[in-house]
Amino acid sequence: WKGVYTSAGGSDEFLRLFACTKHMEKEKISELEGKLTGLRDHGESITLKLANLEDVWKLSPDTKLLSSLALYDRLQIK
């Protein structure tokens, strides 16, 4: 399949999700908290917020986040 359809039947838009594993020291991860990202020339201002994997699903109804979590959970079973 092409990817995850955000509105199956209503739109042909889809998201492709990828998995990447990177081992980092806790100190390096903590340094990412509050980092500003985004394309300034497109009016984007995104602030990185760290969250525990067990709780992150409660923080946002974002389709990309929830789809990624579901696929990650399935990958952990194998």
| Interval 11-67: pLDDT, tens | 888 999 988 889 999 999 999 999 999 999 999 999 999 999 999 999 999 988 999
User: For residue 2, is it within any domain?
Assistant: no
Tell me whether residue 56 is in a domain: yes
The two structure tokens encoding residue 34: 């509050």
Three-state helix/strand/coil letters over the chain: CCCEECCCCCCCCEECCCCCCCCCCHHHHHCCCCCEECCHHHCCCEECCCCCCCCHHHCCCCHHHHHHHHHHHHHHHC
pTM of the model: 0.69
Q: What does the alpha-carbon distance between residue 21 and residue 24 come to, in Å, rounded to a whole number?
A: 10
- Our count of domains for the chain comes to 1
Residue 65's domain comprises 25-77
Is 11 domain-assigned? no
Could you tell me if residue 18 is inside a domain?
no
